[in-house]
Amino acid sequence: MRSNKAACWPLSPITTALLILLSATTAAWGDVPDSIGVCTDVVIRTYRAIGVDLQRLVHEDMVADFESYPQFWGLRKADPNIDHRRVPNLQAFLQNQNAKLPASEVAADYHPGDLVTWMLPGNLPHIGIVIDQRSRDGQRPLIVHNIGAGPKIEDVLFRYLITGHYRYLGPEH
């Protein structure tokens, strides 16, 4: 079992991935355009930009252990076209990969590359990525996420109820 407690992404791959995401003008990898994507698309594209095919990894894990995933959608088997685009599925995958960290209300606990999940008003799960930029007051790391208007960098770490905190460096770590 690998430990994720001390590791965090080096800044250059995160910064590079985010620049790719935020400057893209066309849909890549057959995905929907950024302007109509969802929060999970930001995560999937960021990992792709650093060489981790999270879409494939989630699908393979779901095929191997379907019962460990939420059964909210009435599916009987994994679907590689949609499963990676559901926050509860990403949470289950990250848990299965020993990537879960304690959620906290301490900004210093969140490092660049960490994934954070929230429950938005209306019971909507959401996910974003901690980046290496800070809030205007310097107290919190900023988050890249998509809440419906394309990828944005915003000070939202503690805006919503945190439901998960994860550090996943890829299958080799």
Low-confidence ranges of the chain (pLDDT < 70): 1-36, 173
SS3 content of the chain, % helix, strand, coil (to 5): 35, 20, 50
pTM for this model (two decimals): 0.83
What pLDDT is stored for residue 148 in this prediction?
A: 83
What pLDDT is stored for residue 172 in this prediction?
A: 76
Across the chain, which distance is largest between two alpha carbons, in Å?
48
What pLDDT is stored for residue 6 in this prediction?
A: 45
What pLDDT is stored for residue 121 in this prediction?
A: 94
Which of helix, strand or coil describes residue 142? strand
- Kindly report, residue by residue over 95-128, the tens digit of the pLDDT: 999 999 999 999 999 999 999 999 999 999 999 9
What pLDDT is stored for residue 145 in this prediction?
A: 94
What pLDDT is stored for residue 23 in this prediction?
A: 45
What pLDDT is stored for residue 26 in this prediction?
A: 41
> In sequence order, what DSSP letters do the residues of 152-169 get, joined into one string?
EEES-TTTSEEEEEE---
Q: Around Cβ 65, how many Cβ atoms within 10 Å? A: 13
Amino acid 50 reads I
Domain boundaries defined on the chain = 11-23+33-166
List the alpha helices (DSSP H) in the chain.
Answer: 11-23, 39-49, 54-64, 87-96
